[in-house]
Amino acid sequence: MIYLDKEQIFARSNTPDLVEALQVAFARPSFTPERMHCTLPGDDGATLLIMPAWQTRALLGVKIVSVMPENPRKGLASINGVHILINGETGAVQAILDASALTALRTSAVSALASRFLSRVNASCLLMVGTGALSEHLVRAHSTVRHIEKVIIWGRDPKKAQDLVARLGDLNIDISVATDLGGAVAAADIVSCATMSDRPLVQAAWVKPGCHIDLVGSFSPTMVEVDPHLLGRARLVVDTQVALKESGDLIGPLREGIISAPAVELSELAAGTVRGRSDASEITVFKSVGTGLADIAAARYLVEAGVAIRSDRSAAGDSGGMRLA
């Protein structure tokens, strides 16, 4: 059995390759039962998620994750858990992966995959709304599918925004911190949001024609990142239909008739059965809440990448690398 910790996962991941692996996975039929979404006792919004998935009987995956919104105040990560890969023929556990690292990489790669289909080809200015753990990965992932020349960071805490700028310094891109969110949205070709907000941050009036909006937060009915009226002007794509039931960004607009069900899914774009962006002025919105398909595809990619690394090292006479349990 293979165990991949956070450091091993980040070390072996190559975002362009992961995006390609996810595109292949999303283009194929899969089975992702609705995840178990458990609200834990207390008033802090703590949640337990259990997400199974498979594409064939050969390999099964299940992710068990706790989401603790108050953890950052304690200096702890808000997301913890594991992803388990299981041999579907024997039931034997093949690999266990740190879920926080896996989630960060697969979430940002899914957003990048959606951007490949939905953002303008010449999009060059990216606004990152939020400064949490996902933000760095989202900026890096979006920058692999579009030629991003300028990145704007907006967050409630200016120090966290500056810290994020510092962590992204190796990108050699013009990166700045914005204090005026409206002005930053108006300038952006791509707006990526990853916050725990319970009120709309991005207002419809700020969004220019041709902009692509990537909504990563709002994974519960009480969380909202975008003005619902924007959805009336935009083309919506989701990672899974579950988003219509779980995200506050979509539940209200669906109830009010601003959007309708079912929504277009990313899998339809990946398979080529539905086209992506229709023209340069179209506003597009991608809403993700997480799907077990992305987890199992990313986990399989990471395990196979580790096997390739180990093979290369063995050929070079170095047996180090993967840790086996």
pLDDT digits (tens, 9 = 90+) for 58-116: 889 999 989 898 998 898 888 889 999 999 999 999 999 999 899 999 999 999 999 99
Q: Is residue 324 part of a domain?
A: no
Q: At 95, phi and psi to the nearest 5?
A: -155, 150
Q: At 202, phi and psi to the nearest 5?
A: -90, 115
Name residue 39's beta-bridge partners: 47
Confidence class of residue 167 from pLDDT cuts 50, 70 and 90?
very high
- Among 194, 77, 78, smallest CA distance to 126 is for 194
Give the length of the chain.
325
| Confidence at residue 180, expressed as pLDDT on a 0 to 100 scale | 96
How far, in Å, CA of 83 to CA of 299, rounded?
8
* CB distance 97 to 302 below 8 Å: yes
Q: Is residue 112 part of a domain?
A: no
Least confident of 39-43, 143-147, 250-254, 305-309: 305-309
Q: Is residue 325 part of a domain?
A: no
Region 271-280 average pLDDT: 94
How far, in Å, CA of 104 to CA of 325, rounded?
24
Looking at the structure, do residues 186 and 296 belong to the same domain, yes or no?
Answer: no
CA-to-CA separations, 291 to 8, 115, 170, 171, 310, in angstroms, rounded: 23, 17, 31, 29, 29
Looking at the structure, do residues 220 and 243 belong to the same domain, yes or no?
Answer: yes
| Total domains in the fold of the chain | 2
DSSP symbol at 216: -
Looking at the structure, do residues 234 and 145 belong to the same domain, yes or no?
Answer: yes
CATH classification at residue 260: 3.40.50.720
| Confidence at residue 320, expressed as pLDDT on a 0 to 100 scale | 39
Asked if the model's pLDDT at residue 282 lies above 60, the reply is: yes
Looking at the structure, do residues 154 and 251 belong to the same domain, yes or no?
Answer: yes
Q: Is residue 262 part of a domain?
A: yes
Q: Is residue 114 part of a domain?
A: no
The answer to whether the predicted template modeling score (pTM) of the entire model surpasses 0.95 is: no
Region 299-304 average pLDDT: 92
Host domain of residue 169: 120-287
How far, in Å, CA of 74 to CA of 92, rounded?
37
Q: Is residue 307 part of a domain?
A: yes
Cα end-to-end span (Å), the chain: 6
Q: Where are the beta strands (DSSP E) in the chain?
A: 2-4, 36-39, 47-54, 59-67, 79-87, 93-98, 125-129, 150-154, 174-177, 190-193, 198-202, 212-215, 224-226, 234-238, 264-265, 283-287
Contacts of 246 (CB under 8 A, 6+ apart): 37, 219, 220, 221, 289
Q: Is residue 217 part of a domain?
A: yes
Looking at the structure, do residues 194 and 149 belong to the same domain, yes or no?
Answer: yes
CATH classification at residue 41: 3.30.1780.10
Looking at the structure, do residues 283 and 309 belong to the same domain, yes or no?
Answer: no
Looking at the structure, do residues 213 and 241 belong to the same domain, yes or no?
Answer: yes
Q: Is residue 111 part of a domain?
A: no
Confidence class of residue 33 from pLDDT cuts 50, 70 and 90?
confident
Looking at the structure, do residues 67 and 142 belong to the same domain, yes or no?
Answer: no
Asked if the model's pLDDT at residue 310 lies above 50, the reply is: no
Looking at the structure, do residues 77 and 181 belong to the same domain, yes or no?
Answer: no
Going across the sheet that includes 93-98, the strands are 2-4, 93-98, 79-87, 59-67, 47-54, 36-39
